[in-house]
Structure 1
Amino acid sequence: MTLKSGLIGCAALCGLAMTTQAFAACEKPLLYGDFVRSVCKEWPAYPGQTITATSQFESGFSASDSGPDGKYDLDLAVLSAGNAKPLATYHQSAAFVSDAFRLDDLEIDTARYKLTPDLRAFGLRVNFKGSSGPNPMDESWLSLYVKEGNTLRPVLERLVMYVYSGEWDTRCAGERANTVRTIEIGKTSSHGYADLIVKSVTTSMVGEGEGDACEVKSSTGKPVLTTLRYDGKRYGLPDGFKGVQ
């Protein structure tokens, strides 16, 4: 283990211990930096409960001299106000890879993901940013989790909700496009869970010329609706809908 990775490991473990109470109160986490992303949010559907998410440099993995490139674990928890002991947790080792396609941020999504009359999911959005100006690549992934006893279970994994990509000269000439997706709860269900209706809207941009003669034309396609159905374990995703690394 390198000195850098040893210090990171110590900081992560010590920091996590200190942030448990802060998370319970949904205060700003004490542990946040190049090697850690953490966030907490109160869950409006369940007053008094808080959702926390932390993604930190994989334990035992040596950081490169160039920066925080490598694998990141994921820890989720649902906490009760005033009680540091989690009601439910989830851990995934090596959940993400951060390199030229960089892990940028985490967001907790508490929209009304009502999958059954008595069950509501929450979402985790993971944002990535590419490092190339001429070949931009940004994405945001959404995963949904449900509480089952003292565990959290993923029922939807890595649905790409936003993607921006292209090839251009960083000034004008070239092509770029972005796709934005939204989710609605369907009126039909599969294996007891509501179907999810995903609306995708893509906007394309084409630039030509240089300087004052630069002309950019944009066009937005018609919305495309896609139905996601639960197979008894999770929602299946069509080709091109799932974030990969």
Structure 2
Amino acid sequence: MTLKYSWLGCVAMSGALGATQAYAECGTPPLPEGVPGYSVCKDWPAYDGQTITALSQIEPDPTLTDEPAGTGMYDLKLAVVSNVDGKPLARYSKASVFSSDAFRFDGLSIDTARYKLTSDLRAFGVRAGFTGSSRANPFDEAWLSLYVREGNTLRPVLEQLVIESGSGEWDTNCAGEFSRTKRTLDMAKTSSHGFADLIVKSVTTGSLNTVKNGECEYNDTVGKTVLTTLRYDGRQYVVPKEMQGS
């Protein structure tokens, strides 16, 4: 299901309870009519009183008049917002980040796991989801990018790591093969150019479905955990090609 885009707002609640500051409640205003896209927000536990917002809307393209709704390029707008007065503290904006066609862009989420890159710097993540359109050859991916705050700007330090993917080929009834890879990130004790190295743990599971005596039988397998170290090159973490979203 295609959602609609909306600008996010974090409106400060007036007044105070004793000496306690009343924080804003993160919420989304009404969705603009007819503009495909996504908007999410989440409090940032690492920094009290701050909320992260992620916004993505389709970029108008008059040449795509015959394409299905939601097809095209999507931008990305991020902000860290004060929960006290609703003012943005830092921003990031980039055009044409996500492409949506047969491989459909279908949502954003904010990841506030403990991405501690230095003793006093934490990153937050933005995940983007994609889904293929073929039922006989299902395919899906989720990409993770990490951002850090530098003054009033946000800077990407890890871009489009495929954090989860699945694919398969089957007869749409039973017989077929499926594969899914899931990845997690851990902070290493080593560092490169002042930022902690990232340990990527990848596990791939498979499923072989066959028909026997009129029944569908499932044979599942779990592969070994594969460890990959990502190192910061002074600008970004270098992601191997086979782990990059495209």
Alignment of 1:20 onto 2:9: yes
Report the AA paired with residue 57 of structure 1.
I
The residue that corresponds to 2:61 in the other structure is 61
Paired amino acid for 2:190: T
- State the shift of 1:211 in Å: 7.9
Task: List aligned pairs for 1:76-115, cutoff 5 A.
Answer: 76-115=78-117
Aligned-pair CA distance for 1:130: 1.0
Report the CA distance between 1:40 and its aligned residue.
0.2
Partner of residue 131, structure 1:
133
CA shift for structure 1 position 114: 0.2
| Cα distance in 2 for residues equivalent to 1:243 and 1:39 | 21
Which consecutive unaligned segments of at least 5 residues does structure 1 have? 1-10
Q: Which letter does structure 1 place at the counterpart of 2:69?
A: G
Shift of 1:29: 4.2
Letter in 2 for 1:170: T
Q: 2:227 aligns with which of 209, 222, 225?
A: 225
Higher helix share: 1
Please, what TM-score do these two structures have when normalized by structure 1?
0.87
Cα distance in 2, alignment partners of residues 221 and 213 from structure 1: 26
C-alpha RMSD of matched pairs (Å): 2.0
Q: Which amino acid aligns with 2:243?
A: F
Q: Deviations over 1:106-141 (max 9, x none)?
A: 110000000000100000010111111111110010
Measured in 2, the distance between the counterparts of 1:27 and 1:55 equals: 16
Q: What does residue 50 of structure 1 align with?
A: 51
How high is the TM-score relative to the length of structure 2?
0.87
Letter in 2 for 1:177: S
Look up the match of 2:175.
173
Q: Alpha carbons of 1:210 and 1:95: their partners in 2 closer, same or farther (altered >3 Å)?
A: farther
Cα distance, 1:36 vs structure 2: 1.5
Secondary structure, counterpart of 1:240 in structure 2? helix
Query: Quick one: which of 178, 184, 187 aligns to 2:186?
Result: 184
Distance 1:29 1:236, change over 3 A: farther
Aligned residues: 229
Counterpart residue number, 1:3: none
Pair 169,211 (structure 1): closer, same or farther in 2 beyond 3 Å: farther
Match of 1:5 in 2: none
Q: CA deviation at 1:235?
A: 0.4
CA deviations 1:33-75 (Å, max 9, x no partner) are: 76010000000000100000000011x4236452110000100
Q: Secondary structure at the match of 2:86?
A: strand
1:141-180 aligned at under 5 Å gives the runs: 141-180=143-182
Q: Would the aligned equivalents of 1:31 and 1:38 in 2 still touch at CA under 8 Å? A: no
For 1:69 and 1:48, how far apart are their aligned partners in 2?
Answer: 37
- Cα distance in 2 for partners of 1:126, 1:91 equals 15
Q: Would you say the 8 A contact 2:74–2:99 is kept in 1? A: yes
How many percent of aligned residue pairs carry the same amino acid?
Answer: 57
Change (3 A) 1:211 1:243: farther
Structure 2: which amino acid aligns with 1:206? L
Deviations along 1:214-235, one digit per CA (max 9) or x if unpaired, are 2221100010011100000000
Superimposed CA distance per residue, residues 66-107 of structure 1 (whole angstroms, 9 cap, x where no aligned partner): 211000010000000132331100001011011111111111
